[in-house]
């Protein structure tokens, strides 16, 4: 496995680049905008392909690198389903498994620092975001923070992991890089409490100043969506309502770019072919499934995904590959389900 812990000294943020092998797929957790060049250099040096960029929560102390990484690599952006970000490519929920080639992360909903805070468990280690820090915990006094919810996330979820589980947080301000669940249980001063009330009182007494970057970071981090308007302006988008009349037509091939878990949870548009976005480059090149489908049959590829972001990027890739009839359903499955719901 390739595993790199990267540090942004300005915000004290740790980011993690993970891949199962050289030449394989990679994901990054909590990337910082100013460090995007560094990440991409490392991605090239390690000879991996960045396919997913994940934020553990909506950050208040730095601007996320999610949007920039997506724009430069066409990777999939991932956040929790509660996140107030305008658009991400994929939203995850508690109990999901987030995968890339050779690696599976268990998705654990750990609210408290914010109401969209998630932790990700990978074998012997857990990425705790700002829920559990080394000898500390994330503040709970803004962004819908809730000390009692955090108590449950800590004691009910993270501290239930085996003692030897490595703890990799999103921040450290003292120079510590890694800890373990057992070590934090014993020595983390915030965890030496016996009830949610006692924990809430401890957190209420902290009286922390707002993060320096908060007024800039939070609004910026809420607007990370891919600019689907450009795709629409070129005539490469149809609305979910328009899509309903195209489906079933013989000259249209409907392509679902989502992953299996998303299809199971949110349903499928009937008659669609499943071709996960992660395999798009393979499928789109000459000889690839989608390339052959489009060129051999002359069919118009109609892509869709969860929110229209992956499908908008797929349309661009298709256009780049010379498949000029390709288009996508703006707003994705979310928009489709809305049309179905309202008739």
Q: Between 128 and 317, whose beta carbon lies closer to Fe ion? A: 128
Judged by CB under 5 A, the stretch of 64-72, 126-134, 222-230, 311-319 that binds Fe ion is: 126-134
Q: Does 172 bind Fe ion (CB under 5 A)?
A: no
Q: Rounded CA gap, 112 and 118, in Å?
A: 10
Q: Between 216 and 334, whose beta carbon lies closer to Fe ion? A: 216
Residues 6 or more apart whose Cβ sits within 8 Å of residue 31: 15, 39, 53, 55, 64, 65, 66, 69
CB of 139 to Fe ion, least distance (A): 8
Judged by CB under 5 A, the stretch of 71-79, 122-130, 172-180, 204-212 that binds Fe ion is: 122-130
CB of 62 to Fe ion, least distance (A): 9
CB of 13 to Fe ion, least distance (A): 9
Interaction mask 3-42, Fe ion, x per CB under 5 A: ----------------------------------------
Q: Which candidate, 151, 149, 177, 181, places its Cα nearest to that of 164?
A: 181
- Number of residues located near Fe ion, criterion CB under 5 A: 1
Q: Are 178 and 167 in contact (CB under 8 A)?
A: yes
- Which helix H or strand E contains 310, and what residues bound it? helix 309-320
Q: Between 67 and 138, whose beta carbon lies closer to Fe ion? A: 138
Judged by CB under 5 A, the stretch of 47-55, 63-71, 124-132, 172-180 that binds Fe ion is: 124-132
Which tokens is 11 given?
């915000």
Q: Are 238 and 246 in contact (CB under 8 A)?
A: yes
Q: Between 130 and 146, whose beta carbon lies closer to Fe ion? A: 130
Distance between start and end Cα atoms, the chain: 49
Q: Rounded CA gap, 318 and 303, in Å?
A: 10
DSSP symbol at 323: -
Q: Between 130 and 256, whose beta carbon lies closer to Fe ion? A: 130
Q: Between 143 and 180, whose beta carbon lies closer to Fe ion? A: 143
CB of 85 to Fe ion, least distance (A): 14
Q: Between 11 and 283, whose beta carbon lies closer to Fe ion? A: 11
CB of 32 to Fe ion, least distance (A): 12
CB of 60 to Fe ion, least distance (A): 6
CB of 143 to Fe ion, least distance (A): 8
Residues 6 or more apart whose Cβ sits within 8 Å of residue 14: 5, 6, 7, 30, 168, 169, 170, 171, 172, 177
Q: Rounded CA gap, 182 and 155, in Å?
A: 12
Find the residue with minimal CB distance to Fe ion. Answer: 130
Q: Rounded CA gap, 31 and 66, in Å?
A: 7
Contacts (CB under 5 A) with Fe ion, residues 128-147: 130
Interaction mask 78-117, Fe ion, x per CB under 5 A: ----------------------------------------
Judged by CB under 5 A, the stretch of 96-104, 123-131, 215-223, 225-233 that binds Fe ion is: 123-131
Q: How far is CA 41 from CA 35, 44, 318, in A?
A: 10, 5, 26
Q: Between 137 and 165, whose beta carbon lies closer to Fe ion? A: 137
- As to burial, measured by CB atoms within 10 angstroms (0-12 exposed, 13-18 middle, 19+ buried), residue 62 is buried
Instruction: Give backbone dihedrals phi and psi of 340, rounded to 5 degrees, phi first.
Output: -65, -40
The contact set with Fe ion (CB under 5 A) reads 130
């Amino acid at each position: 496995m390739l595993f790199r812990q990267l540090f942004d000294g300005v915000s004290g943020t740790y980011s993690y680049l993970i891949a199962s092998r050289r030449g394989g797929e990679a994901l990054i957790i909590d990337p910082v905008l100013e460090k995007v060049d560094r990440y991409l250099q490392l991605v090239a040096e390690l000879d991996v392909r960045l396919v997913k960029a994940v934020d553990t929560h909506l950050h208040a102390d730095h601007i996320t690198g999610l949007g920039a990484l997506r724009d430069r690599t066409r990777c999939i952006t991932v956040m929790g389903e509660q996140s107030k970000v305008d658009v991400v490519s994929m939203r995850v929920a508690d109990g999901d498994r987030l995968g890339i080639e050779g690696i599976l992360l268990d998705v654990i909903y750990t609210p408290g620092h914010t109401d969209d805070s998630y932790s990700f468990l990978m074998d012997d280690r857990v990425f705790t975001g700002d829920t559990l820090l080394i000898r500390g915990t994330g503040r709970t006094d803004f962004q819908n923070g809730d000390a009692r919810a955090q108590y449950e996330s800590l004691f009910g979820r993270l501290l239930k992991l085996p003692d030897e589980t490595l703890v990799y947080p999103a921040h450290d301000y003292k120079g510590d890089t890694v800890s373990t669940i057992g070590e934090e249980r014993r020595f983390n001063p915030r965890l030496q409490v016996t009830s949610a009330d006692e924990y809430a009182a401890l957190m209420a007494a902290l009286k922390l100043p707002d993060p320096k970057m908060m007024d800039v970071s939070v609004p910026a981090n809420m607007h990370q969506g891919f600019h689907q308007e450009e795709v629409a302006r070129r005539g490469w988008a149809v609305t979910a309502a328009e899509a309903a009349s195209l489906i079933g037509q013989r000259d249209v091939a409907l392509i679902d770019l989502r992953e299996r878990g998303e299809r199971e949870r949110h349903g499928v548009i009937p008659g669609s072919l499943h071709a996960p976005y992660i395999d798009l480059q393979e499928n789109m090149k000459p000889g690839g499934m989608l390339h052959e489908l489009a060129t051999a049959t002359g069919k118009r590829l109609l892509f869709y995904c969860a929110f229209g972001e992956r499908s908008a990027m797929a349309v661009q890739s298709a256009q780049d590959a010379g498949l000029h009839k390709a288009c996508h359903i703006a707003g994705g499955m979310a928009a489709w389900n809305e049309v179905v719901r309202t008739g």
